Chains A and B, each alone.
Chain A
Amino acid sequence: MLIDWFTFCAQLINFLILVWLLKRFLYKPILNAIDAREKRIAVELADADAKKSEAQKERDEFQQKNEEFEQQRAALMDRTADEVKTERQRLLEEAHNAASSLSVKLRETLENDARNLNQAVGRRARQEVFAIARKTLADLASTNLEECLVGVFTRRLRAMDGEAKQVFAQAIKTAPDPVLVRSAFDLSAEQHTVIQNALNETFSADIPLKFETVPDLISGIELSSNGQKVAWSIANYLDLLETGVGELLKKQGSPDAKAKPEPHKPELETTNR
């Protein structure tokens, strides 16, 4: 018999014991180790995936923030540029206005200066002329200036015509008082007569006269009645001179001044008081 039943039983038990031993010492630990490794790898892979997805998320977030920042920056830049432009325009306008006002002020100052200068020149000229005139008149006193003055006055009186003559004639007629004749010097009786005659001839009437001496009138004679005045004096010439100098200065100040002022011929002055 090839089968030994004791050996058969022993081998059966041996085999079962070996199954138990190998299960305990081989398969279980090895399979557990493999499982643990697989689990660990799976965990690491999951972790890596999570990290990757997190990194991707952060990257997306960062990119989005970056884009937002760029947009904000661009918007801010645009706004700032606009503000700068507006501010520049405003400042330019302000500067322009300031320059204009300064220019106006400068022109006014210049005009003021010119006017002041003009006045100073006039004052000085008048003073000088007065001084010259006084000197000349003092020198001419010996040549009977008063007579010459009266002569000139009567000539001018006779030459009076037009509206001025009519207005003065009307004043003389309506005046209750005699016509006042004022002179810078005492007139002689002869000179009184000359003036009387000249008036009578001019206005074709017998005009009552009253003579007065006023030293303020510079070498002149003044005829006044009922608010109307006819006068001739060197002061008139001086005033004309002053006017002429003033106009000359004004024309020199303005750039388009070309024409020279015509010097005024001193005429018999008729004023309404």
Chain B
Amino acid sequence: MHLSPDQMIFWQYGFFKLNGTIVFTWGLMLVLAVGSKLITRNLSTGMKRSRWQNLLEIIVSGMEKQIEEIGLYRPEKYIGFLGTLFLFVALGSLCTIIPYYEPPTGSLSTTAALALCVFVAVPFFGIQEQGFVNYLKSYVSPTFIMLPFHIISELSRTLALAVRLFGNMMSGVMIIAILLIITPLIFPIAMTVLGLLTGMVQAYIFSILAAVYIAAGTRVHNLATEAEEKH
């Protein structure tokens, strides 16, 4: 029994290895990219459109709306990052219904990588929106004393992001694995269903938290723009 798909090693050459996490991630990437490509190949701009196009439009416009509600006024700019986070985590969880599949998010390496992306994305978008100086000023606001607390907050929330997702996904898989040993019938199915729900909630939480962090990083600028628009 293994705790994470990292331990499922298919091929290794020194430092380089091909484990379950990478393989399943590629699988998800393949499904997402090819599926998107196939559906968006013949997009209709008229009133009539295919079911798949409808589904994608609902997902994309839903995500866009969520991002906008959080306070990011140009959702099309952030949807690439935040939407991909959500779709990757959500699809990773949904695929748990496939036998022998393990979600790549059940690996701390993956969640840490995603958390690192968020950690980098916050100053990236913040600097893009407010400028370098203004963004750095936000670390010493309202007073200089707050600087260490801001830095600790940044680090801790990144760690929390990574561990929360990893913990939830890993625990879900673990519980099912343990239940399969104890009660191999029915109960694991119920837990799988619950795992699907947990996975979706985790995907939502992860992407929403990432959006909130980015929104906090770009907030000063947004507030200023808002004030200007009001005047």
Contact = CB atoms under 8 A, between A and B. Distances in A.
Interface of A: 2-12, 14-19, 21-23, 25-27, 29-34, 36-37, 40
B29 A7 contact: no
B110 A11 contact: yes
B40 A29 contact: yes
A11 B53 contact: no
Contacts of B112: 3, 8
Residues of B contacting A: mostly: helix
Given A3-B108, A10-B22, A19-B81, A33 B113 contact: no
Which A-B residue pairs are the 5 nearest by beta carbons? A7-B109, A26-B36, A11-B113, A29-B40, A36-B45
A40 B46 contact: yes
Contact of A11 (B76, B83, B109): B109
Given A6-B17, A8-B116, A15-B114, 5 more contacts: A4-B17, A25-B33, A26-B36, A26-B40, A31-B60
Given A33-B45, A40-B45, A6 B33 contact: no
B156 interface: no
- Of A22, A23, A36, the most chain B CB neighbours within 10 A belong to A22
B151 interface: no
A22 B32 contact: yes
Interface of B: 3-4, 6, 15-17, 19, 21-22, 25-26, 28-29, 32-33, 36-37, 40, 43-47, 53, 56-57, 60-61, 64, 76, 79-81, 83-84, 87-88, 104, 107-110, 112-114, 116-117, 166
B46 A11 contact: no
Nearest to A12: B113
B84 A18 contact: yes
Contacts, number: 124
Q: Which of B57, B76, B80 gathers most chain A CB within 10 Å?
A: B80
A15 B43 contact: no
Given A30-B60, A33-B44, A4 B109 contact: yes
Nearest to B43: A33
A15 B117 contact: yes
17 contacts: A2-B166, A4-B109, A6-B17, A7-B110, A8-B113, A11-B25, A18-B28, A19-B80, A21-B29, A22-B33, A22-B84, A26-B40, A31-B60, A33-B45, A33-B53, A33-B57, A40-B45
A75 B58 CA distance: 66
A18 B36 CA distance: 12
Contact of A25 (B15, B21, B37): B37
Contacts of B88: 15, 18
A8 B109 contact: yes
Residue from B21, B43, B113 having most chain A Cβ neighbours under 10 A: B113
